[in-house]
Structure 1
Amino acid sequence: MDFQKPVIVYTAATNLEAHLIVEMLLTSGISAHTVEDQSGVSLWAFGTISQFHKPNIWVDESTAQQAADLIRDFEEQRKARNTPVDGAGEIQVSCEDCGKTTSFPSSLDGTTQVCQHCGAYVDVGELGWDEDFGEPED
């Protein structure tokens, strides 16, 4: 990636988040690169100390506004998903592994979560891609 004028467009909370956002930008046609923070300086018993752990995302200045718009949309979707909606119900999910039922807020509809009883992955609500792949199972 040759950037004519590299700029930091975002500082992620974690290295993993930085890589996910870079992949989102690359998928959208924006060249991006992350510089992970591997320093142990900011580590302590409860996570990382703010303002020390800074995994940065770099883009070319010519695409910075487009990248910022995509990242803003990403953050708005994450905030909406994590904010409980008043009056919205819960989704009951039966685990295929242990058979027990777990309740999830409706804001998690269409996601994959972890069963609170056995730790297995469960699909919450309807995942829109079920019909798109391969032959149906018998």
Structure 2
Amino acid sequence: MDFKKPVIVYSAATNFEALLIVAMLHTNGVPAHAVEVQSGVSLWALGTIGQFHKPNIWIDEATQKEAADLIRDFEAKRKSRNAPVNGLADIKVICEDCGKTTSFPNSLDGTTQECRHCAAYVDVWDLGWDDDFGETED
């Protein structure tokens, strides 16, 4: 892509997020390019070290306002997805790998997330009934 005045409009948390935002910008008519981080410099046993792994999204300065508005909307939608729905309790999930319980906002119902204890994938869902299926012991 040829940008007359290239500027960084966003520093994403991950390469995947950067590519997702670039696709969203393209869909809305804003040319953009993600510079992914491929270096292993920021990697350590528990993930990446903050401030090293920063995939950047580049746009032309002429489209900066439009891109910023779209990215603000993206951030607002992400925040609302992660916010609990009023009146509903968090969903508690027991990890099949480590056996520990993790709570997730009810807005993530029906998704797959990572266990906060061992990073295994867990299905977040609320079945809407008790574990004993409403039966009582006689």
TM range, normalised to the smaller chain?
A: 0.5 to 0.7
Flag as ranges the 4+ runs of structure 1 deviating above 6 A: 119-124
Identity score, percent: 66
Alpha-carbon distance change, 84 to 123 in structure 1, aligned in 2, over 3 angstroms: closer
Q: CA deviation at 1:122?
A: 9.2
- What SS class does the counterpart of residue 57 from structure 2 fall into? strand
**For residues 70 and 82 of structure 2, what CA distance do their matches in structure 1 show?**
19
Larger radius of gyration: 2
Counterparts of 1:83-122 in structure 2 under 5 Å?
A: 83-88=83-88, 106-108=106-108, 113-114=111-112
Residues 38-57 of structure 1, C-alpha deviation per residue, up to 9 Å, x if partnerless?
11111111111111111000
**Structure 2 segments unaligned to the other structure (5+ residues):** 92-103, 114-120, 127-138
Q: CA deviation at 1:20?
A: 0.3
Give the TM-score of the pair, scaled to structure 1: 0.67
2:18 touches 2:34 (CA, 8 Å); kept in 1? yes
**For residues 50 and 120 of structure 1, what CA distance do their matches in structure 2 show?**
25
| Matching residue of 1:10 | 10
Alpha-carbon distance change, 121 to 77 in structure 1, aligned in 2, over 3 angstroms: same
How much is the aligned-residue C-alpha RMSD, in angstroms? 2.9
**For residues 38 and 113 of structure 1, what CA distance do their matches in structure 2 show?**
28
Asked if 1:78 corresponds to 2:43, the answer is no
How many residue pairs get aligned? The number is 109
2:84 touches 2:90 (CA, 8 Å); kept in 1? no
**For residues 47 and 22 of structure 1, what CA distance do their matches in structure 2 show?**
24
